Chain A
Amino acid sequence: MSTDDLETDLTRNTENTPRELLTRSFFFLCAALSVVTTISIVGLLVVEASKFFTITAPLMDVKGETASLVDFLTGTTWQINNQEFGVLALVSSTLMVTIGSAVIALPLGVATAIYLSEYASAQARSVLKPALEILAGVPTVVYGFFALIYITPALGVVFPGIGTFNMLSASIVVGIMIIPMVASISEDAMSAVPDELRQAGYGMGATKFDVSTGIVVPAALSGIFSSFILALSRAIGETMAVTVAAGAQAKFLNPINPASYLEGALPMTAAMVQLLNSDITGGGLAYRSLFAIGLVLFVITLIMNVISDYVARRYREVY
């Protein structure tokens, strides 16, 4: 074979044949779509929310009614008909659902993770893991219905003063719903703990209890922590269960007073659904308030996701 042939053969550039270019560009566009989505979400929320506030509306060239940013962030009354947009009324009830579900899901989730990772036989795992996945797979509106129709009446036996809509039943179902998330991420973290550490513990005469609580859990702590944050961020964004079971009147409640869990209130997500179901005209103040709440919700969950990611990344460096 002559050198010329070799030269043309070796430099034929298969990388840029039409077929390669077409497929590569398609795959790239698919990946870029996620960036477009993010930009759209952020852009839309920022633009629409800034039309809502008095301070930013002139920038967007919007005339007509606006709301004060300070009142929005510090007000504790949410009454659209009276033009009162105090988001703290909504944030406080979101916080209650978050705290309530955390009380249920965090300990149960970690216990589940320890059981699955350290105690359960392979056969038990093969039954329990799909069962847990079903917990996460039930639609949230169904959970909301369960809370409203079955759990609230049952709670009424213990707490006679409980409202038809109440934060307690909503928190319970949201808690159940996020158990699998805590459990599976924590279990991954625990499985990533090297066996040598466990064997070192057993070698010193430690029991399984000692090893689980004294070695595995501390070693997996950052993974567990990361699962907490992710699960709570999920609880904050949870919509249908709280809309059906807790969503009533917007009300500023004290999240650390247990008695307030017997009342109903309006978490952020439920407020958004309620706004949509009331008659709002596109472009009106109520419509824009939707995006203002959306922005608050997005920022909170984004921060939590970033923190969780950061924590998870740090722990990955350890092993």
Chain B
Amino acid sequence: MATDTESGYAEGFGQVSRTVGTVFRYLLLAATMFGIVTLAVLLVYVANDAIQPLTADAGWHLTFFLTLVVPTTLVGGYLYRRNTDALKLGSTVVGMLAVAVLFSGGVAIVFVDIIPPLTGFSYAVGLVIPAALTVILTKYERQISFTPRVAATGAAFFLSLFGVPGYLHSIPELVQKAPVVPSDWVILALVLGGVAALVVGQYIARIREDATAGLIAGVAALVVTGLAALLGPLLGYDSNSFVVVTAVAVVPTATYAGGAALTRKRERIGLLLAGTVIVGSLVGAAAVDLLGFAGPQSWVNWQFLTNPHSSSAERAGLYPAIGGSILLMVTVAALSFPTGVGAAVYLEEYAPDNRFTRFIDVNISNLAGVPSVVYGLLGLGVFVTYLGQATGTVIIGGATLALLILPIVIISSREAIRAVPQDMRQASYGMGATRWQTVKNVVLPEAFPGILTGTILALGRAIGETAPLIMIGAPNVLFSLPTELTSKVSAMPLQVYAWSTLFASEDFYTKAVPAGVVVLLVVLLAMNSIAIVLRNKFESES
């Protein structure tokens, strides 16, 4: 390149090699883009089939173009040229709101439809009481030795949750049998609003370094949630869903945005973008309603999201499958996160360098390569045939998928743990810390963001899996939500599979399946983006 001048001969040669280099470079770029572009085209096709944007009135498109696209582009363009950090903040808030609304939908399914609010409330009380006891016990850490403390904690949880059959009622039982029980929305507002208030209060207290501010913010969050419950019926919506969306999506996003406005003076102009998007959407929606423009005849609509399967593609819905996927995800997370992180901690922090450790090591990397269908066989053979469990239940599906992603969780957690600087461990051991103290105080807190990222990505893999669920006999068609760990379970990818093979018809191919694919991909995309945002934040900090 720079070396090939000197003589005419060399220049001619340099010309040739430069051409070859340029061609090669573009060939490589084309190869890199091939998969991405192919997938993008396929996604456009499926989104078009599912949402059918061209069926909307021209006026509908024009209205939203004027109220949403134009202002957002202008504000975004301005921020991009002036202050990219502010742009980043603005897009984060918008993304956070979108993901949080999605998440609140999941929470609503779990805490309204799967677990009746009263049952959920009774268990929440049953958990809070022993948890409070544990916190109090921890304060006396130095007076009471470890073994009685653990025993007391265990006993408190057990008594609270299960009672003594025949003698002592458990706390959930007592609550459920109480003569006066609050109505559903009050319970939801108290429980979800309470959790939101706790998180908001802590966050504000931390960034303002002022406990009073935190307390005020927490109370405000609780009040806003309660107001939402009262506001819902006035606007013609259900109180319960209003409470959930407010507590899970609106309050946290507003708190984050408010916190950023208070602490990040240089970037807070970016919130303008978030405001533009939100106001633009609302104004657009009101305008098309007022002017009577019809929107697209999307197959991804409220009915699709809330109906069960039907043999007619127009009426078929994904609801039981969505609920099943959520329950499976919770089960898989509960099973694979502690065991995966535990195994990673053992291998990185405890294991002596001997044959057994090396064997576990090789074993885990081989398990990561075992096809998912074989894990399905494992679930079928061990859980169903040998342990005699019913086929296709939430717990069997969850356990099988947990085993499937366990190697991935272990491998990514090990990477995160290995990334903790050796200096930190040395400092801790040098102070006379034991292994567990070092793990608890130094290694796990430092590695946590990395572990979380890896686990979210692995969970994304789990909820996209179909083959193991088929193997353990999950039903292809399910008409109701699973409500217990021993209920039969369906899942979004399984429903997509059933529609595209067992109900194969032009109707399903062009309506229900694309809609199902879009919902599944949106959920996965949300999870992956959370993981990527976490990772970027983590990487830029360290």
B-side interface residues toward A, CB under 8 Å?
Answer: 1, 3-4, 17-18, 20-21, 24-25, 27-29, 31-32, 34-36, 38-39, 42, 45-46, 146-147, 150, 338-343, 345-347, 349-351, 359-360, 362-367, 369-378, 381-382, 384-385, 403, 406-407, 410, 434-436, 439, 457, 460-461, 464-467, 470-471, 473, 476, 493-494, 496-497, 500-502, 509, 513, 517, 520-521, 524-525, 528, 532
Contacts and interface: CB of A to CB of B under 8 A. Distances in A.
Given A20-B436, A176-B38, A237 B373 contact: yes
B466 A30 contact: no
A31 B346 CA distance: 7
Given A239-B467, A240-B466, A244-B497, A291 B528 contact: no
Contacts of B407: 34
Contact of B366 (A22, A135, A305): A305
Contacts of B457: 137
Interface in A88-140: 107-108, 111-112, 114-116, 119-120, 128, 130-135, 137-140
Nearest to A15: B434
A30 B338 contact: yes
Contact of B28 (A23, A29, A48, A115): A115
B406 A37 contact: yes
A291 B381 contact: yes
Given A27-B350, A277-B470, A237 B517 contact: no
A26 to B, nearest CB: 6
Contact of B434 (A14, A134, A302): A14
A35 B457 CA distance: 23
21 contacts: A15-B434, A20-B435, A23-B435, A30-B342, A31-B342, A34-B360, A34-B410, A108-B32, A108-B35, A112-B28, A139-B520, A149-B513, A176-B39, A205-B4, A233-B369, A234-B369, A273-B373, A277-B502, A298-B370, A302-B370, A304-B369
A18 B42 contact: no
B150 A22 contact: yes
A47 B105 CA distance: 45
A302 to B, nearest CB: 6
The CB with the most chain B CB atoms within 10 A, among A15, A22, A137, is that of A137
Contacts of A236: 371
Interface residues of A, number: 93
A243 interface: yes
B385 A33 contact: no
Given A30-B343, A269-B371, A38 B363 contact: yes
Given A35-B359, A269-B467, A134 B528 contact: yes
A298 B24 CA distance: 39
The CB with the most chain B CB atoms within 10 A, among A34, A112, A133, is that of A34
A237 B4 contact: no
B373 A272 contact: yes
B372 A28 contact: no
Nearest to B524: A137
Contacts of B45: 150
A137 B460 contact: yes
The CB with the most chain B CB atoms within 10 A, among A32, A133, A294, is that of A294
A209 to B, nearest CB: 4
Given A209-B17, A291-B377, A119 B25 contact: yes
A134 B457 CA distance: 11
Chain A interface, DSSP helix/strand/loop, else mixed: helix
B524 A116 contact: no
A40 interface: yes
B381 A142 contact: no
A115 B32 contact: yes
Nearest to B529: A130
B508 to A, nearest CB: 10
A145 interface: yes
Given A18-B146, A140-B464, A26 B342 contact: yes
A162 interface: no
Given A130-B532, A139-B520, A309-B365, A41 B3 contact: no
Interface in A138-191: 138-142, 144-146, 148-151, 176, 179-180, 183
A301 interface: yes
Contacts of B377: 41, 44-45, 272, 290-291, 294
Contacts of B339: 30, 33
B517 A145 contact: yes
B449 to A, nearest CB: 17
B465 to A, nearest CB: 7
B435 A44 contact: no
B367 A34 contact: yes
Nearest to A236: B371
Given A209-B21, A276-B473, A34 B364 contact: yes
Given A26-B342, A111-B32, A119-B25, A244 B374 contact: no
B542 to A, nearest CB: 17
Nearest to A114: B28
B496 A145 contact: yes
Contacts of B470: 273, 276-277
Given A112-B32, A119-B25, A131-B36, A138 B466 contact: no
A173 to B, nearest CB: 9
A119 B33 CA distance: 14
Given A119-B28, A209-B20, A298-B374, A31 B343 contact: yes
A19 interface: yes
A146 B461 contact: no
Contacts of A269: 371, 373, 467
Given A31-B351, A135-B35, A135-B36, A273 B370 contact: no
The CB with the most chain A CB atoms within 10 A, among B24, B46, B364, B457, is that of B24
The CB with the most chain A CB atoms within 10 A, among B351, B378, B460, is that of B378
A239 B436 contact: no
Nearest to A210: B17
Contacts of B496: 141-142, 145
A114 B26 CA distance: 12
Contacts of A230: 369
A41 B24 contact: no
The CB with the most chain A CB atoms within 10 A, among B28, B29, B375, B384, is that of B28
A316 interface: no
List the 7 shortest-distance A-B pairs measured between CB atoms, nearest first: A237-B371, A30-B342, A139-B464, A111-B31, A27-B346, A115-B28, A239-B467
Nearest to B460: A137
Nearest to A29: B342
B469 to A, nearest CB: 10
Given A115-B29, A133-B528, A145-B500, 19 more contacts: A20-B435, A24-B350, A32-B360, A34-B363, A38-B366, A44-B378, A107-B31, A115-B32, A134-B525, A137-B460, A138-B39, A139-B493, A139-B524, A141-B494, A148-B500, A209-B21, A240-B493, A297-B373, A305-B366
Contact of A24 (B359, B385, B436): B436
Interface string A7-18: 000000011011
The CB with the most chain B CB atoms within 10 A, among A26, A27, A137, is that of A27
A216 to B, nearest CB: 12
Nearest to B360: A31
Nearest to A33: B339
A297 B31 contact: no
